[in-house]
Chain A
Amino acid sequence: MVALGWALRRLAFGAVGVVVALTIVFLGAQRLTDPVTARLGPDAPHSQVVALRHELGLDRPLAVQAADTASNIVRGRFGDSYQFSRPAGQIVGPAVVATLALTIRALPLSLAVALLLGVGLTLVELKIGHRFAGTPLLILASVPTFVAAVLVVQILAVQLGLAPPSGTGARPLAALVLGAASGVQLALLLGDRLHELAREPYVLAALTRGLRPGAVVRRHLLRPAGVQLSSFAALEAGYLLGGALVIETVFAYPGIGRLAVGAAEFRDLPILLSAASVSAAAFLLVRLVGDLALVALDPRIRDGLFT
């Protein structure tokens, strides 16, 4: 019951967060390009410019536009896309599904990479008694995603023919790059956490007692480090659900990132607001799930969270 109340409070705060995010998007978008010029081009007939400005409601005072937009959003309507003259939901929906499908594949990969590199390298470090893993991980993390993506296309798609280089067929490759890139970041954080824990007296005592490093990691480090990892993973999932522009561009993947950036170029407010709502809500939801996972992993946290 306490947990339910806590979850409801979190959802209420989340709703407030979404409203704040949408307000920021609405106000920020006013500084972007004029959607009428962007859509019609600089040499469009004046009559067409006037007609489109009126049709989009951009000839009304900003306060009226804001009130109208808010009232529509409350009723679940984001309006017609400025660029495409179709309901924003029809355009954002498929992109959200595509991004979700990519995230679902990338996230487990990210966690696997994080565990593999973070735990594996820490294990080696404990064995040889010298810390070195941070450097190779930092080098890996500093490889630009674009370069990694192009390399993956060339090697796995062109040379080995494992998957098509573009479109939804390229999802495994896109997920591989996205998951690996995110996994290396998580591995860095996990490695740091494992090292912090490795300096704890109870861990040192275990090592002194002659317990093998593998057993130390398994018995004493993985669970507390996992708490932190699940927290980072929740943040990462929220980030991935917001779309990965570089990956989506290189693999011609029709996700929310490319759509949102295109919408920002055209100041396509209905698309921007719709995409921001989905991203913000997904982020908050994933955080909530992440927190619940934390509680499951470490009951000591429960009191702190639920009070």
Chain B
Amino acid sequence: MRLRVGLAAASVVLVMAAAGCGSGSARQVPGSSGQLVVSMFSESGDLVDINPIADHIPMPGALIYDTLLRRTASGGLEPRLATGWKATDAKTWRFTLRRGVTFQDGSSFDANDVATTMHYILKPANSSGYLRFIRSVTKVVVVDPNTVDFVSSVPNNLLPDYVNQIPILSGNQLGTAHDDHKTRLMGTGPYALAKWKQGESVLVKRNDAYWGDRPHYAAVLLKAVPEPSTRLADLQSRNAQVIADVLPEQAKLLQSQGASVATEPAVETAYAAFVQRGAFANVKVRQALYHAIDRKAIVDTVFGKYAEPATSVVPSNSQGYAKVFPQSDFDVGQSRRLLAEASVTTPVVGEIDTFPSMSSVAELVRQQAQQAGFDLKVTIVPQAQLFDLKRVKAGTVPRLLMSTSLDNRMFDAYRPLESFFGAQSFFADFGYRPHPDNQQRLDSYLGATDPAVRQAMSMQMQKTAQSDPPALWLYFPTLVYGIAKGTCYDPAGTGQLRLDRLGPCTAG
């Protein structure tokens, strides 16, 4: 009897211990404390690292730092730390800087901060992801405390479009020996870093000395939550007002529960690169696979309205967009004819390597390709290992490397065109030989002032990829956010959550 009582008591203790030892109130009431909670992953990373120069944490970065310029919903640029910008000659851009701006430590912002930030990024050893944005810049010259010149090695009419992504750090802080800027973020932005819980969250508080409009929320808590169902639970349990990276099936559920779903345009391109060996060394086989894939069916099946089939290397709202890959190119008969012309043994055996979040897309590609005479096996690898050359080069089986990458918040085709088709194309490691004219075309693209010239160059480069495909361009995934009931978001069309467009819903 005593044992039974003991067991019963133990069960009660067990449940109480498990459930009751939480930290105070489990539900945070949205808006009641002026704190916004955002649960996300792709824009924050895992928050083990918050190095603002590494370029993989756009979300806390955008709150703490300002950029020189900012993209508008209509695709133009608006002043931020720079109030004016103009080309003073073919290779020089001059930026006039805002006066009276201070960093969150109270120090003044001036041209030295811009120059120091850019020079830090330009040094390859600092491993900044922004280096590729300003690769053509050879030096940044301080003209006076409020004027700075960017000098490029080649005419670069796109520089302002790319500079608008780069946070400006304090020159004083960058000059310290302890790399303070990697852990104690300090910028001129609307929020200041209050607390960083490594691998978990970043808390920022309103910067009362901010030069721009006063932010609505007194504080913002950004949580790194890798599991989609937990992000959803954060919103459902009112532990977050906004969640990012919402899956299409979750979007329907959220709407049925009274929450809303907001979108921002795609900043990524999903593609599958050919490792050109075995049958994939044959251009006709690669073209055959291109015709075997129905991109629209993939988008409809996996994403519904939350993606756009790729008809170019960039979405249609980008500079340099040229519709090269019409959806009607899906033609199983043509695919089979090309395989017959290639005189290869069918089924063509190969592999599709991809990472977990693209597994359903890879499976659809496998099924579609099977209809045309391909036998592709899907292999899931960690994202960081997908392009590892040692791994890719092992074995002899033809491979497709399926990925989404190349964050393109500039909404311009230059960077994808350069990475895919330029002289330094990363596809070269997989057997692709870029067209010899492409580098010249890229230089023309960069130096052009007329958008029509850029579009023509983009078209020419992509046409070479149609005749000798280094990859299949699949779709552009839209960014999808879940917004709690009572909170409203006015999408900015800039490919990133903008907190200045988020707030409590007002009647009417």
Contacts and interface: CB of A to CB of B under 8 A. Distances in A.
A214 B223 contact: no
B124 A51 contact: yes
Contacts of B132: 43-45
A40 B405 CA distance: 12
B123 to A, nearest CB: 8
Interface in B1-51: 1-4, 7, 10-11, 13-14, 17-23, 26-28, 39, 46, 48-49, 51
B2 A86 contact: no
Interface in B219-268: 223-227, 229-231, 233-234, 236-237, 239
Nearest to A213: B3
A86 B182 contact: yes
B127 A86 contact: no
Interface in A109-160: 109, 112-113, 115-116, 119-120, 123, 150, 153-154, 156-158, 160
B17 A157 contact: no
B451 interface: no
A297 interface: no
B85 interface: no
Contacts, number: 200
Given A38-B385, A162-B22, A259 B199 contact: yes
B508 interface: no
Interface in B385-431: 385, 387-391, 405-406, 419, 424, 426, 429
Contact of B198 (A160, A172, A254): A254
Interface in A151-205: 153-154, 156-158, 160-169, 171-173, 175-176, 179
A158 B236 contact: yes
Given A251-B230, A265-B384, A166 B46 contact: no
Given A112-B10, A165-B239, A45 B135 contact: yes
A48 B18 contact: no
A119 to B, nearest CB: 7
A161 B14 contact: no
Interface residues of A, number: 75
Contact of B1 (A84, A109, A214): A214
A234 interface: no
A117 to B, nearest CB: 10
B208 interface: no
A266 B198 CA distance: 18
B131 interface: yes
B179 interface: yes
Is chain A's interface secondary structure helix, strand, loop, or mixed overall? Answer: helix
Interface stretch (A8-16, A29-37, A70-78, A275-283): A29-37
A77 to B, nearest CB: 17
A105 B14 CA distance: 11
A50 B124 CA distance: 8
B233 A166 contact: yes
Given A47-B124, A169-B23, A38 B48 contact: no
A251 B374 CA distance: 40
Given A153-B229, A165-B234, A249-B227, A109 B7 contact: no
Contacts of B200: 167-168, 252-254
A61 interface: no
Given A85-B179, A167-B223, A116 B26 contact: no
B383 interface: yes
Nearest to B24: A169
A94 B195 CA distance: 14
Given A54-B125, A153-B230, 5 more contacts: A42-B429, A43-B406, A169-B22, A172-B21, A214-B1
29 contacts: A33-B384, A33-B388, A42-B426, A43-B426, A45-B124, A47-B124, A55-B127, A84-B51, A84-B182, A86-B49, A86-B182, A109-B17, A112-B17, A116-B10, A116-B14, A160-B19, A161-B27, A163-B22, A164-B22, A164-B234, A166-B39, A167-B197, A250-B229, A250-B230, A252-B200, A252-B224, A252-B230, A254-B198, A264-B382
Interface of B: 1-4, 7, 10-11, 13-14, 17-23, 26-28, 39, 46, 48-49, 51, 124-125, 127, 129, 131-132, 135, 179, 182-183, 197-201, 223-227, 229-231, 233-234, 236-237, 239, 382-385, 387-391, 405-406, 419, 424, 426, 429
Interface of A: 32-34, 37-48, 50-52, 54-55, 83-86, 91, 94-95, 98, 105, 108-109, 112-113, 115-116, 119-120, 123, 150, 153-154, 156-158, 160-169, 171-173, 175-176, 179, 214, 217-218, 249-254, 258-259, 262, 264-266
